[in-house]
Amino acid sequence: MALGEFELIERFFSAAGTSPFVSLGVGDDAAILSLPDGHSLHVSTDTMVAGAHYSPDMSAEDIAYRAVMAAASDLAAMGAAPLGMLLSLTLPEADGAWIARFAEGLRAAATDTGLALVGGDTTRGPATIGITVMGSAPTGSPLLRSGARVGDRVCVSGFTGDAAAGLAILEGKIHLSAAAENYLVKRFTRPAARLALGQSLRGLASAAIDISDGLMADAGHLARASGVAIVIDRSALPQSAALREVIDERQRAVWMLAGGDDYELLFTLPANAVLPEGCTEVGRVTEGSGVSCDGIETPGGYDHFA
Amino acid sequence: MALGEFELIERFFSAAGTSPFVSLGVGDDAAILSLPDGHSLHVSTDTMVAGAHYSPDMSAEDIAYRAVMAAASDLAAMGAAPLGMLLSLTLPEADGAWIARFAEGLRAAATDTGLALVGGDTTRGPATIGITVMGSAPTGSPLLRSGARVGDRVCVSGFTGDAAAGLAILEGKIHLSAAAENYLVKRFTRPAARLALGQSLRGLASAAIDISDGLMADAGHLARASGVAIVIDRSALPQSAALREVIDERQRAVWMLAGGDDYELLFTLPANAVLPEGCTEVGRVTEGSGVSCDGIETPGGYDHFA
């Protein structure tokens, strides 16, 4: 891009959030962040390619907002408190109006998550969005995927399947009441990373993961990392009122079990731990390997209906 | 990419370097790093798009090695000690042999820089390489672009212009002795981020930046950030023996002043500070703005010959 366009972008992005942990933001060779005493850095990066991970038809605000939340969700899954983020934005051309709207969505997500934009890189090329998120958590006893133990209860936050239904609405595949459509589409375009819940799970949950690939698939990642099996009780799955408007019960089950992009947390609780508000117990940890639901196992189960 | 390919990639990349600061590497939702007591996090990200920032004809080892060094150079410029890095690799297809060679180059750069690979993301799409580097430096008095003062001496490490000459050799534009060609091509394909020098400049240099856009252009960034002018003495510029084989003196000057990709450091020293070994004083900081060399000012000077 021309230098002028770069300066335009820098101007748009330089004000996207501040934080007491940011010593130096956009503008030098690197950003400088401080961590609270006795805390460790948690860092993760997510890349979204136009056409594969997001539709170029989505609004630029939503594309930016969703990209930040998807990345922030990895911090939530580890119980980390937000510090800051980096944006790597590759665009085929510098469309000032699009960039302004993208920056607006980024700013909204920075505010909603507490992740100040501290740096990044803007290049010309095929449209790709990279978000690197940084968080902190007390050093020692981190919340990992690998801590689930036989006998633990398996829990999820909020509702799953909403985002998959929202995408189906956007693609014109299903039609529901205006209120339900509005809610479900927002669940896809404006997901909320469960950062506060994740932090509250520190020292409480034995393991956690965020649901980005789908409940069964992500439960599988957690089970594999922990060396256990997970059994999901389909009848226990929480369904949003909007999703219940979908008449086809089987379709609902597929979305709840295999739909991705919800960015809820799936976690395991020891028998005596109190279930956090807004969360539902949906299964249990058993000996063995893999994930099953009503006798159907992944992979090749609910997975391939998605 | 298919799951099998992802697993292949994870296997290749999971062993790329370790570090006492890495509590948790590749495999969970985020990596966990610890910082030395009293230190702050320095973080920077660089994106390289195939065709724009690197030639797909380059060897996969060199592409990876150069991408890491280009990113690490931003840490060097701020005097930060290496902690770890993240890789965001987007590829149109999973070519196992290419990925194995890329991983080899990445591993070599991880070893040479001390930047352990702690995580990343692999996606299918147009070939793009994103490297996020993390380093640490003592909290307080960071080495910035903005600290240059009138009267300071302007210095560079090593030689500039070598990488631009190396690229011209790769493109068949010039021909030199085999030894000179080998040296100059390596300076382009296997640059060395000046991490040790950068750390030695803490508390010594008043300002620093790495030379990625070219000496005049990067001096311009430093001058602007510091609110000063910089005057470069063309006759003082250090020339490598290999570069001196280029007969066209004007071409040499253009490469030394405007050639990018050298990843040397440009820094300013107060009058009484000792010049580090392997560095050369090439100019001075004066009142005003902009950068000039023998009366020619950027932009529109040496810049547009590049």
- Closest-CA distance, B240 to chain A, in angstroms, reads 26
Query: Per the structure block, which two tokens stand in for A143?
Result: 């919340």
Alpha-helical segments (H) within A114-202: 162-170, 178-189, 195-200
Residue among A35, A74, A142 whose CB faces B41 most closely? A35
The complex's ipTM works out to 0.84
- B26 or A35, higher pLDDT: A35
Number of A/B CB contacts below 8 angstroms equals 183
* A47–B90 CB contact, under 8 Å: yes
Three-class DSSP category at A136:
strand
Q: What is the pLDDT of residues B82-132, one digit of tens each?
A: 999 999 999 988 788 888 899 999 999 999 999 989 888 888 888 999 999
Chain B hits for A195, CB-CB cut-off 8 Å, are: none
The dihedral built from the CA positions of residue B285, B286, B287 and B288, taken in this order, carries a sign that is negative
Backbone angles phi, psi at B63, to 5 degrees: -60, -45
CB A209 within 8 A of CB A266: yes
Chain B hits for A45, CB-CB cut-off 8 Å, are: 86, 88, 119-121, 130, 132
CA distance A136 to A149: 25
**How do beta strands B229-232 and B279-286 pair?**
antiparallel
Chain B hits for A119, CB-CB cut-off 8 Å, are: 43-45
User: Alpha carbon of B14 to those of A288, B60, B86: distances in Å?
Assistant: 26, 18, 11
- Closest-CA distance, A124 to chain B, in angstroms, reads 8
Which of A137, A19, A25, A203 lies closest to B34, judged by CA? A137
* B119–A44 CB contact, under 8 Å: yes
CB B275 within 8 A of CB B281: yes
> Sorting pLDDT into bands at 50, 70 and 90, what band is B33?
confident
CA distance B297 to A19: 39
* A52–B130 CB contact, under 8 Å: no
Chain A hits for B135, CB-CB cut-off 8 Å, are: 30
> Sorting pLDDT into bands at 50, 70 and 90, what band is A300?
very low
Q: What is the pLDDT of residues A143-170, one digit of tens each?
A: 999 999 999 999 999 999 999 999 999 9
Which of B127, B82, B124 lies closest to B102, judged by CA? B127
Tell me: pLDDT of A271 over 80.
yes
* B40–A27 CB contact, under 8 Å: no
User: Alpha carbon of A270 to those of A125, A145, A206, A215: distances in Å?
Assistant: 48, 14, 7, 20
pLDDT at B37: 86
> Sorting pLDDT into bands at 50, 70 and 90, what band is B7?
low
- Closest-CA distance, A244 to chain B, in angstroms, reads 31
> Sorting pLDDT into bands at 50, 70 and 90, what band is B295?
confident
- Closest-CA distance, B25 to chain A, in angstroms, reads 10
Establish how many alpha carbons lie within 13 A of residue B234's alpha carbon, considering only the half-sphere containing its beta carbon. Answer: 17
Average pLDDT for chain A: 89
Q: What is the DSSP string of chain B?
A: --HHHHHHHHHHHTTS---TTEEE-BTBSSEEE---TTEEEEEEEEEEEBTTTB-TTS-HHHHHHHHHHHHHHHHHHTTPEEEEEEEEEEESS--HHHHHHHHHHHHHHHHHHT-EEEEEEEEESS-EEEEEEEEEEESSS---GGG--TTPEEEEES-SSHHHHHHHHHTTS----HHHHHHHHHHHHS----HHHHHHTTTT-SEEEE-SS-HHHHHHHHHHHHT-EEEE-GGG----TTGGG---HHHHHHHHHH------EEEEE-TTSPPPTTEEEEEEEESSSEEEETTEESSSSGGGG-
Tell me: pLDDT of A4 over 70.
no
Chain B hits for A130, CB-CB cut-off 8 Å, are: 45, 47, 88, 121, 130
**How do beta strands A207-210 and A116-124 pair?**
unpaired
pLDDT > 90 in chain B, percent: 69
**What is the mean predicted confidence (pLDDT) over B145-152?**
96
pLDDT at A306: 42
Residue among A29, A43, A121 whose CB faces B30 most closely? A43
- Closest-CA distance, B246 to chain A, in angstroms, reads 31
pLDDT at B300: 47
Helices then strands (H, E): number in chain A? 8, 13
- B54 or A110, higher pLDDT: A110
Residue among B30, B135, B146 whose CB faces A78 most closely? B30
B299: preceding bond cis by omega (within 30 degrees): yes
pLDDT at A81: 94
The DSSP output letter for A305 is G
* B225–A28 CB contact, under 8 Å: yes
Which of A23, A304, A211 lies closest to B144, judged by CA? A23
Q: What is the pLDDT of residues B282-293, one digit of tens each?
A: 999 999 999 999
> Sorting pLDDT into bands at 50, 70 and 90, what band is A93?
confident
The C-alpha R_g of chain B, in whole angstroms, comes to 20
- Closest-CA distance, A214 to chain B, in angstroms, reads 15
- A138 or B95, higher pLDDT: A138
Query: Facing residues of B48 across strands?
Result: B129
